[in-house]
């Protein structure tokens, strides 16, 4: 009789059932040793950068096919590094390296400085070689030299050291992180409790120290992008140490005068300032030499570099705590480089740079070429998309002309409230008005949104195609909806009265309503400006910011997958916890909203005259059509959910403002009116409580009579449902 096989032996013979991975620290070592960034790993595996950071920090593990692909990549890297160590061979870059591709095109005086406020143009002025970068090299090869000195370091005592935030493993070149907060005694506080000794006594010496010794900066987010410039934040005492005034006397330009001693010191030392001068955010640079970029950012706290609307009271934190806050934002989003709006726009470009290095067969060297899927050059808007000040509008209409709906695209967020005469008897016996707010509504709208990448093409009598981004002149006034709902076609919620210009998402939703509700109407555009070259340009931007938002909410005790009751309880006090994550969360929200708004930046300054071009127009990312598509999608998403509640549960809002909707309820909680299925799940297609972008949270509750009074007085209850005007800001 055969003996029974040993079950343990059987398990061992079957081999490992789960793909084995190196330890987290080894994963980071292999990546940096091979010269890859976390963003490049993330792109190859179709995950987010913060996900890769989690794998390398040991906070999470990849699963399934992703795990197998990650293991294959790491094993391949390990094999190549081992082979290189056994048989070292000199590796020579092309004589015309990609980093220097455009160096000859950069004259002594930066041509790109004509566009102040334009990050891309300014970067070219600083010798960014059109955002191209060198082929991947191991970290050791990228070092600036074996004799490069390092800044003296010390670590804060355990009692002073803030809790480390999640972050990518350090690049060998940027071991001290992306930034430092400098105090008046020469202590430069970096992340994780690290303190560097900075001996500089003037701004040029500070710049030299930052580039030569501080080891500050951050690796590029895209293989064709560039590394982030190091940031040094100056506290009040540090600003005084360098001879800077406590406040800027020129409140109009917000910059030091050209004859200030600090500006003269910078010029005398051979450094330059960008066109925005020496203000709250400063860029100090030298033109590129030998393909090497030399640039340092400064943020001056006493001059309001950290706007309280985005960063709350972060500028009141102690230097070590502020370094932790800014470092966390930098690791999850991008190194701060100006206002939150500027950071939002810069993140788009960093994730989808306009150009890349391509081989030039004629010269045998390298040149710049476009990156597929990116915005590669500035384009004029279609006339309906252009704001009133734009030269395109000035060329078509006389000065002072007020454009009508059939001449201008008006895609804005909702600001609507119901006529109090339309309140039903059933609604008037409710006790409360309850507001619900969509988490980062504009960010959710950007997810998988197809937008135009190139110039608009004018078409007459077109056939509408929901897959083609653009704007369409069409009459949607024949689509009748319940008057207790806002019209989805106008920001004010009143039905349109005739032909008007609409972005593709709005017209597509009109076609959807006609189809699903059996309406007697047709979509017949008479004119359109379409963009045949299109793609999901904002997808990487969405992924980074959505992950950053959720990770920061988790820091505040609000995680994904929570029961609805638990979620509401956690949200009640999440902003009363650690002020650091609260500041990061506020900045992330401002980055979303500001970045979308910056796509249609208007002219600024008292000297501007309508009809003249302004500096922002020189950016490839000045794209009012993309802004319109995002806002249109957010408004349509909101309306679709409201229609679902009206159809399935006879629930109608009394007010909507941007991403906040107010409903009347028997109880004070969203759970008292939001419908659920028979098994207790949220109504499919309706509003769903949760932390992810596109889900909703409790915005505020007031009593019924308060809401009725607001309606009677012609005020929007959604604007004040919190007891403040917070809802007006949106997200």
- Per-residue pLDDT, averaged over 515-527, amounts to 91
- Per-residue pLDDT, averaged over 48-74, amounts to 83
Structure confidence by residue, pLDDT tens digits, 271-303: 999 988 999 999 999 988 766 789 999 999 999
- What are 41's two structure tokens? 């790993």
**Helix (H), strand (E) at residue 209:** helix 203-212
Q: What is the crossing angle of helices 64-86 and 38-45, to 10°?
A: 130
Q: Decide if pLDDT at 426 tops 80.
A: yes
Structure confidence by residue, pLDDT tens digits, 353-398: 999 988 877 777 788 899 999 999 999 999 999 999 999 999 999 9
Burial of 431 (C-beta count, 10 Å sphere; 0-12/13-18/19+): middle
Percent of the chain with pLDDT over 70: 84
Percent of the chain with pLDDT over 90: 68
Confidence of residue 261 (pLDDT cuts 50, 70, 90): very high
Q: Decide if pLDDT at 96 tops 70.
A: no
* Predicted pLDDT at 358: 86
Q: Decide if pLDDT at 695 tops 90.
A: yes
* Predicted pLDDT at 671: 97
- Per-residue pLDDT, averaged over 491-519, amounts to 96
Higher pLDDT, 238 or 25: 238
Confidence of residue 153 (pLDDT cuts 50, 70, 90): low
User: In the chain, what is the straight-line distance between the N-terminal and C-terminal CA atoms, in Å?
Assistant: 74
* Predicted pLDDT at 727: 45
Q: Decide if pLDDT at 115 tops 60.
A: no
Structure confidence by residue, pLDDT tens digits, 301-327: 999 999 999 999 999 999 999 999 999
* Low-confidence winner among 84-88, 141-145, 651-655, 675-679 (lowest mean pLDDT): 141-145
* Predicted pLDDT at 520: 81
Q: Decide if pLDDT at 729 tops 60.
A: no
Which of 159-168, 364-373, 399-408 is the most confident on average?
A: 399-408
Q: Decide if pLDDT at 726 tops 90.
A: no
- Per-residue pLDDT, averaged over 476-480, amounts to 94
Q: Decide if pLDDT at 463 tops 90.
A: yes
* Predicted pLDDT at 348: 98
Confidence of residue 93 (pLDDT cuts 50, 70, 90): very low
* Predicted pLDDT at 8: 53
Q: Global pTM?
A: 0.80
Confidence of residue 128 (pLDDT cuts 50, 70, 90): very low
* Predicted pLDDT at 564: 97
Residues in the chain, overall count: 731
Confidence of residue 251 (pLDDT cuts 50, 70, 90): confident
* Predicted pLDDT at 545: 98
Q: What CA–CA distances, in Å, run from 662 to 424, 434, 642, 701, 707? A: 15, 5, 11, 9, 9
Q: Decide if pLDDT at 219 tops 60.
A: yes
The set of residues, in sequence order, having a beta carbon less than 8 Å from that of 483 and lying 6+ positions away, is 419, 422
Confidence of residue 3 (pLDDT cuts 50, 70, 90): low
Q: Decide if pLDDT at 78 tops 80.
A: yes
* Predicted pLDDT at 89: 37
- Mean confidence (pLDDT) of the chain: 86
- Per-residue pLDDT, averaged over 6-14, amounts to 53
Q: Decide if 692 contacts 560 (C-beta within 8 A).
A: yes
Grouping H, G, I as helix, E, B as strand and the rest as coil, residue 193 is: helix
Which of 26-35, 120-129, 171-180, 658-667 is the most confident on average?
A: 658-667
Q: Decide if pLDDT at 465 tops 60.
A: yes
Beta strands in 366-483 (DSSP E): 366-370, 415-417, 432-438, 451-452, 457-460, 470-475
- Per-residue pLDDT, averaged over 405-433, amounts to 97
Going by their DSSP bridges, the two strands 231-234 and 179-182 should be labelled as parallel
- Per-residue pLDDT, averaged over 227-256, amounts to 94
* Low-confidence winner among 119-133, 352-366, 485-499, 648-662 (lowest mean pLDDT): 119-133
């Amino acid at each position: 009789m055969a003996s029974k096989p040993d079950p343990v032996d059987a398990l061992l013979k079957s081999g490992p059932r789960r793909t084995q991975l190196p330890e987290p620290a080894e994963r980071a070592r292999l990546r940096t040793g091979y010269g890859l960034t976390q963003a490049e790993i993330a792109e190859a595996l179709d995950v987010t950068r913060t996900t890769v950071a989690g794998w390398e920090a040991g906070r999470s593990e990849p699963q399934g096919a992703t795990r197998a692909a990650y293991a294959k990549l790491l094993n391949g890297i390990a094999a190549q590094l081992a082979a290189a160590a056994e048989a070292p061979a000199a590796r020579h870059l092309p004589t015309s390296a990609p980093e220097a591709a455009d160096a000859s095109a950069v004259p002594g005086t930066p041509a790109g400085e004509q566009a102040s406020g334009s990050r891309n143009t300014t970067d070219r002025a600083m010798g960014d070689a059109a955002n191209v970068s060198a082929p991947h090299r191991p970290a050791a090869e990228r070092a600036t030299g074996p004799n490069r000195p390092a800044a003296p370091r010390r670590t804060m005592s355990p009692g002073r050291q803030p809790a480390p935030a999640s972050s990518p493993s350090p690049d060998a070149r940027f071991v001290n992180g992306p930034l430092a907060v400098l105090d008046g005694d020469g202590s430069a506080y970096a992340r994780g409790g690290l303190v560097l000794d900075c001996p500089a006594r003037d701004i040029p010496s500070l710049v030299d120290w930052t580039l030569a010794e501080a080891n500050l900066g951050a690796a590029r987010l895209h293989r064709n992008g560039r590394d982030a410039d190091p940031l040094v934040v100056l506290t009040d005492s540090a600003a005084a140490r360098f001879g800077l005034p406590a406040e800027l006397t020129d409140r109009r330009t917000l910059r030091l005068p050209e004859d200030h001693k600090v500006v003269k010191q910078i010029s005398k030392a051979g450094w330059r300032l960008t066109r925005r001068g020496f203000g709250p955010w400063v860029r100090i640079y030298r033109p590129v030499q030998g393909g090497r970029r030399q640039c340092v950012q400064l943020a001056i706290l006493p001059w309001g570099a950290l706007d309280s609307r985005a960063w709350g009271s972060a500028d009141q934190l102690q230097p070590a705590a502020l370094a932790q806050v800014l470092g966390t934002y930098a690791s999850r989003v991008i190194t701060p480089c100006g206002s939150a709006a500027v950071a939002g726009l810069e993140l788009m470009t960093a994730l989808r740079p306009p150009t890349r290095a391509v081989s030039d067969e004629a010269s045998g060297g390298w040149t710049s070429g476009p990156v597929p899927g990116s915005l590669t050059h500035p384009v004029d808007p279609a006339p309906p998309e252009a704001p009133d000040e734009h030269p395109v509008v000035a060329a078509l209409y006389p000065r002072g002309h007020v454009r009508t709906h059939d001449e201008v695209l008006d895609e804005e967020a909702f600001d609507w409230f119901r006529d109090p005469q339309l309140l039903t008897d059933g609604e008037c016996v409710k006790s409360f008005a309850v507001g619900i707010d969509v988490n980062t509504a504009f960010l959710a709208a950007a997810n998988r949104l197809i937008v135009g990448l190139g110039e608009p093409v004018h078409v007459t009598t077109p056939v509408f195609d929901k897959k083609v981004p653009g704007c369409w002149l069409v009459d949607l006034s024949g689509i009748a909806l319940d008057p207790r709902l806002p019209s989805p076609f106008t920001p004010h919620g009143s039905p349109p009265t005739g032909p008007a210009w609409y972005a593709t998402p709005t017209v597509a939703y009109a076609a959807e309503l006609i189809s699903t509700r059996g309406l007697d109407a047709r979509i017949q555009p008479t004119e359109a400006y379409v963009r045949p070259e299109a793609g999901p340009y904002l997808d990487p931007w969405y992924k980074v910011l959505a992950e950053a938002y959720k990770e920061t909410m988790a820091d505040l005790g609000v995680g994904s997958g929570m029961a609805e009751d638990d979620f509401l309880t956690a949200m009640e006090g999440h902003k009363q916890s650690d002020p650091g994550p609260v500041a990061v969360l506020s900045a992330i929200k401002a980055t979303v909203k500001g970045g979308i708004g910056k796509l249609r930046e208007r002219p600024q300054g008292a000297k501007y005259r309508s009809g003249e071009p302004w500096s922002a127009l020189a950016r490839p990312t000045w794209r009012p059509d993309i802004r319109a598509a995002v806002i249109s999608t957010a408004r349509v998403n909101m309306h679709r959910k409201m229609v679902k509640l009206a159809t399935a549960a006879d629930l109608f809002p009394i007010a909507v403002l941007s991403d906040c909707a107010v409903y009347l309820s028997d109880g004070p909680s969203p759970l008292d009116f939001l419908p659920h299925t028979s098994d207790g799940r949220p109504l499919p297609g309706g509003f769903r409580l949760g932390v992810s972008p596109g889900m909703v949270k409790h915005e505020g509750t007031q009593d019924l009579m308060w809401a009725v009074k607001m309606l009677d007085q012609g005020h929007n209850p959604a604007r004040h449902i919190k007891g403040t005007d917070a809802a007006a800001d949106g997200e």
